[in-house]
Amino acid sequence: MTFHGYHHITSIVTSAREDMRFHAGVLGLRNVKRTVLLDGDRPFYHLYYGNEYGEPGTLLTSFAFGPDRPEGRRGSGQVSSISLSVPRGSLNFWLDRLNSHGLPATRFELLGDQRIRFAHPDGIEHQLVEVDVDDRLPWTGADVPAAAAIRGVHSVTVCTREVDELDMFLHEGMGLRSRDADGAVKAYTMARGSAGQVVEVDHQPDIPQGTWGYMRNTIDHVAFDVREADAQLQFKDRLETMGFIDVTEPRDRNYFYSVYFRTPAGAMFEATRSHPQGFLKDETLDSLGSCLQLPSWLEEKQDELLAELARTQPLD
């Protein structure tokens, strides 16, 4: 099995300030890194949230583009929902908390799990899923009690009009196993099949195609945790041998190395190998997320980038 679980999930949002309020203020995650999108020539915040260390599998990240970027159209060929793991018995706490922050939440059951559905301020669907066991340590520096705190990513939902080729890709390309199904939704699992090891596929044959590219209010990509350089390259070779050539060379993302690949459904995935120091390569544990950090090739532009971000996306 190449993948050990999730690494991070990246959404495209409008406001950096509102995104920070949602993830850190409401969900109680730690802002572990403030940096910028490394593609293109305009500065946009890339914000990371997770547990104390920002460990793989606990990470949600956001590109904050501002209101000038076109809004995306949600539909087939996208990741349609982000599900997060919470302890058994905590959903009533989260229902009250979300509703008190003006985020309407509803309780439901899917694939045998008790869940809550709600949305990011930009309309991106999120779920909280109750689990009995999840050994990932939560961030306890917010006002969410440890007994209810989010442990990390539980799963994502891929919306697709066609399932046969995607099913083959998940099995043969990514090494996932089929689990159970509930109506139109089918679960696939990574190594152990526990929380943080599940991919859900929602078969919606009549839904229009969603947009790709950097479009606001959509989920951009899902990254899976690969811990060895050889495994990352072997995975890339396996996809290309199968004829899936929409795969990139490893890219240096400062805190990790990324191989991007597009699934037959259209959703963008990523095989990600963390830098040995992770987010501690340029900040101490106590100072994580306290100020803007740039890769070495952008440091000479720091004053310029800070001025532009302060003008377009003030955080404080």
Determine which helix (DSSP H) or strand (DSSP E) holds 131, and give its type and residue range: strand 125-131
Residue-wise DSSP of 48-91: EEESTT--TTSEEEEEE--TTSPBP---BTEEEEEEEEEETT-H
* Cα distance between the two ends of the chain: 43
From the list 140, 134, 127, the residue with the least C-alpha distance to 87 is: 134
34 vs 95, 306, 307, CA distance in Å?
29, 11, 15
From the list 94, 72, 73, 110, the residue with the least C-alpha distance to 200 is: 110
- Tell me what pLDDT residue 139 has: 97
Neighbours of 137 (CB within 10 A): 15
- Tell me what pLDDT residue 280 has: 96
Tell me the CATH number of domain 6-281, given options 3.10.180.10, 2.60.40.10, 3.40.50.150, 3.30.70.890.
Answer: 3.10.180.10
Q: Chunked in runs of 10, what are the mean pLDDT values of the chain (316 residues)?
A: 91 95 98 89 89 97 91 94 98 98 97 97 97 95 96 98 96 95 96 85 96 92 95 95 94 94 96 95 95 84 82 78
- Tell me what pLDDT residue 1 has: 60
- Tell me what pLDDT residue 202 has: 98
Query: Domain boundaries in the chain?
Result: 6-281
Strand pairing class (198-203; 152-160):
parallel
- Tell me what pLDDT residue 103 has: 97
- Rounded-to-10 torsion of CA 30, 33, 38, 44: 70
- Tell me what pLDDT residue 159 has: 97
Q: List 155's β-bridge partners, or say none.
A: 83, 198
Strand pairing class (218-225; 6-13):
antiparallel
